[in-house]
Amino acid sequence: MKANNANARKSLVAKLIANGKIGSQSDLIKALKKEGVVVTQGTASRDLEDIGAIRVRNSEGEIVYALKGVQPISNKSSFPSELVLTATPSGNLVVIRTPIAAAQMLASAIDGLSQSGKLPSAIGTVAGDDTVIVVADTATGGSALAKKILGLANSKGGGR
């Protein structure tokens, strides 16, 4: 990723805070550096503000950054149900709408469930800013996959 691509950097910031371990701007700057993106404290601060990040207490009691309106994902959680706004099937695809800057977090969770065998019909994801496209394993599997994803979302954290 090019360091000057602000949208890509902000998506990476959202992804990094998804793990619930970014507790300070310094933590964020270090995590970005590990990903090959060097930013100043001012840039980190603006990115956090732009994506709507706030500091909250996670389920382990730590103060961390999270997205406004989204409960921080603990290490024990496997499906962030609060990130699924809609899931619309089309052929072998499911188009999922998420809150702004949350798509990569949801795609990562879906990929994890797929790899663990808990959602085997999902063979891949593509995430934008507020949209995830999930690819089903059959040409007409989008409808069944959308129902499974909505079922996970409606069970408030299914797959745990």
Are 37 and 117 in contact, with CB atoms under 8 Å apart? no
Q: Which of 67, 90, 117 is the last residue of a domain?
A: 67
Count of structural domains within the chain: 2
Residue 126's pLDDT is 95
Q: Are residues 17 and 40 in the same domain?
A: yes
Q: Which amino acid is at 12?
A: L
Q: Is residue 49 part of a domain?
A: yes
CA distance 98 to 87: 9
pTM of the model: 0.56
- Give 110-151 pLDDT, tens digit per residue: 987 887 788 899 999 999 989 999 999 999 999 999 999 998
Q: Are residues 63 and 85 in the same domain?
A: no
- Residue stretches of the chain with pLDDT short of 70: 1-4, 19-20, 59, 68-78, 156-160
Q: Is residue 1 part of a domain?
A: no
CA distance 125 to 52: 24
Are 144 and 94 in contact, with CB atoms under 8 Å apart? no
Relative to beta strand 63-67, strand 53-57 is antiparallel
Q: Which of 148, 99, 106 is nearest to 127 (CA)?
A: 106
Parent domain of 91: 81-154
Q: Is residue 126 part of a domain?
A: yes
Residue 107's pLDDT is 87
Q: Is residue 54 part of a domain?
A: yes
Residue 117, domain CATH = 3.30.1360.40
Residue 64's pLDDT is 86
Residue 81's pLDDT is 82
Length of the chain: 160
Q: Are residues 58 and 100 in the same domain?
A: no
